[in-house]
Amino acid sequence: MHLTDPQSWTLQILILGTGIYVFLRFLRTTRGSGLLRGLTVAFVVGAIGLWGLSKYLQLEELGHIIEGVIPYVAVILTIIFQPELRRAMARLGQQNRLARLLSTGQRDTLTRVAGAAVAMASRRHGALIAFQQDTPLDAWTSNAQHIDAEVSGTLLESIFHPGTSLHDGAVVIVDDRIVAAACLFPLSENIALSKSTGTRHRAAIGLTEETDAVTLTVSEETGQISIARQGFMNRDIPPADLEQNLRDALGVAGPEQAEGLPLHRRVGVALKDFFTTDLVRKASSLALASGMVYLAHQDIVDTREYSLRIVEVASARRIEPQPGLLRIRMPDESFHLVSPPSTALEVQVSGTQAQLDRLTSLGGVFDVPADSPEGPFELRLDTVSWVAGTAGLGFKWKGSAAPRLDLERFSRHTLELSPASVTVDSSNLDLHFIARTDELELGQSSIEIEGPRSAIESIKSGSLTFELQPIVLQPTDRESRKELLGVAESMRELRVAIVGRERVQVTLPIVPAPVGLGELECDIAIVNLRPAESELDPAAFVIDQSAQKARFELNSAGVFDSPAGSDAYQQTYRLIREFAVQHLKAYVDISELTEDGGVAAIHWDFPTDWKAQLFPGRELDEAARLEVALKGESTVLVTSK
């Protein structure tokens, strides 16, 4: 069966994982199992890990050393732990795990133990009973009183009866026999335990912290019954629930679940127990087995897969295969691929192990024939020029059919650029500024574009508008925006591009937005600005009463920094109006007239340092302005009195 078959992989991992799991369970039954198990697991994982690392990194010297040392280390461990292994083998021969799972002897034992515990609890006779599971309790039974008697309620009650020589110690039960009494267990050092926890309960918890045993405790003071497992104690168990709690802790089915069942049903119960218990060790065994099978697979695999990304290249220069790429070289610049595959293509390479080890990466070049017509074509691997070191290897696409690529002919066109080619989105621009799209400047007047013939013809005829990338203005834009723009997304979708350059320089002026501040009226004064040239007295002249006031329009830009209608806006508005009324001066100059008067032009003065006077300490934009414009008649009739 070929190793690339997923079913074969699964079967091999299950077989090897089962063997590893059985071996770990075997180690668990040995005295001193913690040290032996730790050293063995460290040796297995370390040896396999280093061996795999040496294979992966091609560290041949390290791999040779590991392969030579492993047998000697295995022999040394066997010699050092020979007594423990011999004892474990003897225990393995004495115990029939399948028979224990299918028999009902232990179930009857639990019934007797539960009955005795309830009876002792009613009389407040203290008791401590330990049930040995996989980890042997020889360390605590070897120096105790050996009994080796069948479990019975009467015997247990007699052992723990106050005044007997055995009642202070613990009883150890293995399967359905009491093997020892007066056993002394290690006390738990768990600081989280209550200070009121007695010695008997601490010993019950302490044993379960070091082994997988289950302990049953009867309190001499309260008569409460407790069960401890894996360092945790379930206290004050109701007598009616004691037997079921024991069965749950030990993983033993009740009489109503197992007795009287046919053999195949008992086997089913045993299998269910196998797949629902000790999952961490089983998962570790499967993981270790998977790693071992994978490493073994590397020695015999004869097919590997490589991912290649399709890349189009021009024909102007000579190119070499590049790892990870299948480069499609065009016969001339007018040929292009239509929508090259966005995902990598898988290629299966077959050959000897040594050949595949030398082929660390795969890449190739495919030359499109010069006489290729437009349209789809089949990409054949036998016409590809591969990287060096591929002689004698076989290539095929992963899957049944070769991928098909599509060729298309491109053309070029010189295009006159205009501001209409740029879309400006000013929706987010600060309302106090405006973008002068009519003054948009392009860095060049024309560009050469390239694309499919149909798209280029549409642009030439005017049925399709060529577009550059849009300019999206932000609230922080205050000055002219300079951008290097490529083609818009709509053009890229049509595969239209700029020849020779990817960007066009664009400058978009951004200036403060004008704000009208309404009209002002100002008295027109009569003055003589050139008294040295004209002796006319302003007091001798008069302006018609209907024309003694001039009307002006007040406008600003870049002055307001708050939204229209807000309190700050209104305050600034009033401040500017008051300043304009105070400082705006209108006049006519009679030095230009005769003694009888005449038509005089209206002049006006407004402070040029209005920024410093209006907003002391505030820095306004350089483009900020406050302008006064005459509205209405620009001249008045001046007559002598």
What is the SS3 string spanning 113-167? HHHHHHHHHHHCCCEEEEECCCCCCHHHHCCCEEEEEECCHHHHHHHCCCCCCCC
Note whether residue 218 is domain-resident.
yes
**CA gap 112, 337 in Å, rounded:** 84
Output 50 or 546, whichever has higher pLDDT.
546
Does 32 score more than 50 pLDDT? no
Angle at 93 between CA 87 and CA 94, to 5 degrees: 90
- The pLDDT assigned to 102 comes to 37
Mean pLDDT of 242-270: 67
**CA gap 395, 356 in Å, rounded:** 12
- The residues near 10 (Cβ < 8 Å, ≥ 6 apart) are none
Does 256 score more than 60 pLDDT? no
Domain match, 161 and 126 both: yes
Residue pLDDT, tens place only, 106-115: 557 888 999 9
Note whether residue 340 is domain-resident.
yes
Residue pLDDT, tens place only, 103-138: 444 557 888 999 999 999 999 999 999 999 878 888
Residue 637's H or E segment, with its range, is strand 635-640
Least confident of 43-57, 320-334, 528-542, 618-632: 43-57
- The pLDDT assigned to 37 comes to 55
**CA gap 590, 639 in Å, rounded:** 10
Domain match, 505 and 561 both: no
Domain match, 15 and 90 both: yes
Contact in structure between 526 and 587 (CB atoms under 8 Å) = yes
Mean pLDDT of 520-525: 92
Domain match, 113 and 247 both: yes
Does 274 score more than 70 pLDDT? no
SS3 15: helix
Structure tokens belonging to residue 559: 């002055």
Mean pLDDT of 388-400: 82
Q: Which of 407, 430, 458 is the last residue of a domain?
A: 407
Note whether residue 557 is domain-resident.
yes
**CA gap 290, 295 in Å, rounded:** 9
Helices (H), 29-104: 33-56, 60-80, 82-94, 97-102
Burial of 601 (0-12, 13-18, 19+ CB in 10 A): exposed
Burial of 633 (0-12, 13-18, 19+ CB in 10 A): exposed
Task: Assign 4 a pLDDT band (cuts: 50, 70, 90).
Answer: very low
Task: Assign 56 a pLDDT band (cuts: 50, 70, 90).
Answer: low
Contact in structure between 366 and 434 (CB atoms under 8 Å) = no
For a pLDDT cut of 90, what percent of the chain falls above it?
Answer: 31
- Picking from 172, 247, 176, the residue whose alpha carbon sits closest to that of residue 211 is 172
**CA gap 18, 281 in Å, rounded:** 11
- The pLDDT assigned to 5 comes to 46
Domain match, 153 and 250 both: yes
Output 372 or 58, whichever has higher pLDDT.
372
Domain match, 245 and 269 both: no
368: DSSP letter: P
From residue 21, how far is each of 15, 157, 291 by CA, in Å? 10, 39, 14
For a pLDDT cut of 70, what percent of the chain falls above it?
Answer: 77
Q: Which residues pair with 435 in a beta bridge?
A: 510
Beta strands in 203-318 (DSSP E): 214-218, 225-229, 232-234, 303-313
Domain match, 329 and 427 both: no
- The pLDDT assigned to 431 comes to 81
625: DSSP letter: E
User: Could you please report the per-residue DSSP string of 412-452?
Assistant: EEEEE--GGG--EE-TTS-TTEEE-GGG-EES-SEEEEEEE
Mean pLDDT of 368-379: 83
- Picking from 348, 347, 353, 358, the residue whose alpha carbon sits closest to that of residue 302 is 353
**CA gap 2, 182 in Å, rounded:** 60
- The pLDDT assigned to 367 comes to 87
Mean pLDDT of 322-345: 84
- The pLDDT assigned to 292 comes to 67
Structure tokens belonging to residue 426: 């000013």
Note whether residue 412 is domain-resident.
no
Q: Which residues pair with 481 in a beta bridge?
A: 508
Residue pLDDT, tens place only, 553-601: 999 988 888 888 889 889 999 999 999 999 999 999 998 888 888 999 9
Residue pLDDT, tens place only, 144-188: 999 989 999 999 999 999 888 888 899 999 988 999 999 999 998
Beta-carbon count within 10 A of 304 CB = 15
Q: Is 493 left (phi over 0), alpha (psi -120 to 50) or beta?
A: alpha
Mean pLDDT of 233-250: 90
487: DSSP letter: B
Domain match, 112 and 196 both: yes
**Average pLDDT score over the chain:** 81
Contact in structure between 16 and 293 (CB atoms under 8 Å) = yes
- Picking from 295, 298, 324, 292, the residue whose alpha carbon sits closest to that of residue 311 is 324
Domain match, 538 and 616 both: yes
Residue 177's H or E segment, with its range, is strand 177-183
Task: Assign 378 a pLDDT band (cuts: 50, 70, 90).
Answer: confident
Q: What is the CATH number of the domain that holds 123?
A: 3.40.1700.10
Q: Which of 196, 230, 258 is the last residue of a domain?
A: 258
SS3 371: coil
Q: Which of 381, 407, 433 is the last residue of a domain?
A: 407
Domain match, 232 and 310 both: no
Does 91 score more than 80 pLDDT? no
Residue pLDDT, tens place only, 427-476: 898 888 889 888 899 988 899 998 888 899 999 998 999 999 999 999 88
Mean pLDDT of 363-376: 85
362: DSSP letter: -
- The pLDDT assigned to 253 comes to 62
SS3 222: coil
Does 97 score more than 50 pLDDT? no
Output 261 or 322, whichever has higher pLDDT.
322
Give me the number of domains the chain comprises.
5
Does 13 score more than 80 pLDDT? no
The whole-model pTM stands at 0.39
Domain match, 434 and 313 both: no
- Picking from 88, 110, 96, the residue whose alpha carbon sits closest to that of residue 28 is 88
Q: What is the CATH number of the domain that holds 487?
A: 2.170.120
- Picking from 411, 527, 524, 392, the residue whose alpha carbon sits closest to that of residue 460 is 411
| Residue numbers of the domain that contains 594 | 514-640
Domain match, 220 and 161 both: yes
